[in-house]
């Protein structure tokens, strides 16, 4: 049994899918969780599920790409539960196109959500982490903390039609490896999980009604063409998409003491599928 009692975790993109599953696994393991999502209603649903599992939870709805929100999220964790032990940068979405059809706005949006927002949250937490670790070291204590960044096989291997998404997900892997080297002295493990095809609303059949999301007042089409979905399934040795709960498993491992000597890694969670 993984025991995270006494730990405080921040999870972004926790309103649905993988983020919700991560929040629940961390809470069930005993961690207090501070959750963020763009949409208040699904975030409230996650909050209710965590509370039903007897978990301690605070929520902060809002756009994580807004310049001031990451700092507010870090402060919320410290004020509510006394510290920050785990950060899971999970928020994200897809806005796909081939390069010649990708606008500056579209490309920048992918960098903002997948790269700039995680950078701002980690920067906001850095002073507290450094000062707290120095005090712990002075007392002869070594307390491990965890950062898990969400990536994708699009970021490790590239994927046609996802120039912006792949750039952001590749960038987060570079940030992961760099921060693992910067923060090792502060007893922080920093890793990424690169997902393949996981069954969420971002990978639904895009020909079905409701295959879109609202971001900054713009309706963005999401999902995958049915033929492409079947092709990916055929390429996957396990022959199926992963579930959100299966996707959350590697994150729980990387947030636990089992990973105390694992840092700077990109763990691929794709059912054996690589390009």
Active site residues: 165
What distances in angstroms separate CA 146 from CA 83, 135, 192, one per listed residue? 13, 18, 11
H or E element, residue 40: helix 40-52
How far is it, in rounded angstroms, from Cα 76 to Cα 262?
28
How far is it, in rounded angstroms, from Cα 208 to Cα 136?
53
How far is it, in rounded angstroms, from Cα 97 to Cα 101?
6
Both tokens assigned to 127: 């002073």
How far is it, in rounded angstroms, from Cα 194 to Cα 170?
10
Both tokens assigned to 243: 């579930």
Dihedral pair phi/psi, residue 240, rounded to 5° = -160, 160
What distances in angstroms separate CA 275 from CA 1, 103, 153, 156, one per listed residue? 34, 26, 8, 9
How far is it, in rounded angstroms, from Cα 15 to Cα 39?
7
Q: Among 124, 114, 108, which Cα is nearest to 67's? A: 124
CA 24 to centroid of chain Cα atoms: 14
Residues 6+ apart with CB under 8 A from 133: 143, 145, 186, 187, 188
CA 118 to centroid of chain Cα atoms: 9
């Amino acid at each position: 049994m993984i025991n995270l009692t006494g730990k405080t975790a921040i999870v972004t993109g926790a309103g649905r899918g993988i983020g919700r599953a991560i929040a629940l696994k961390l809470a069930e393991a005993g961690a207090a969780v501070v959750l963020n999502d763009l949409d208040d209603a699904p975030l409230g649903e996650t909050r209710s599920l965590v509370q039903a599992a007897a978990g301690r939870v605070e929520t902060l709805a809002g756009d994580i790409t807004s310049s001031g929100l990451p700092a507010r999220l870090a402060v919320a964790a410290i004020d509510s539960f006394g510290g920050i032990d785990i950060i899971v940068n999970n928020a994200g979405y897809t806005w796909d196109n081939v390069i010649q059809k990708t606008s500056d706005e579209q490309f920048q949006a992918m960098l903002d959500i997948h790269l700039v927002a995680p950078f701002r949250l980690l920067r906001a937490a850095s002073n507290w982490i450094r000062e707290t670790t120095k005090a712990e070291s002075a007392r002869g204590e070594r307390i491990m903390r965890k950062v898990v960044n969400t990536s994708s096989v699009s970021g490790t291997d590239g994927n046609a039609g996802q120039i912006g998404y792949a750039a952001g997900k590749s960038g987060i892997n570079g940030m992961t490896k760099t921060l693992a080297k910067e923060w090792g002295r502060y007893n922080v493990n920093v890793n990424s999980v690169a997902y393949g095809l996981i069954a969420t609303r971002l990978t639904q059949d895009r020909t079905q009604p409701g295959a879109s999301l609202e971001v900054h007042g713009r309706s963005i089409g999401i999902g995958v063409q049915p033929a492409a979905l079947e092709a990916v399934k055929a390429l996957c040795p396990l022959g199926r998409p992963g579930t959100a709960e299966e996707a959350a498993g590697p994150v729980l491992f990387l947030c636990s003491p089992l990973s105390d000597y694992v840092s700077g890694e990109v763990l691929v969670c794709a059912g054996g599928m690589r390009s």
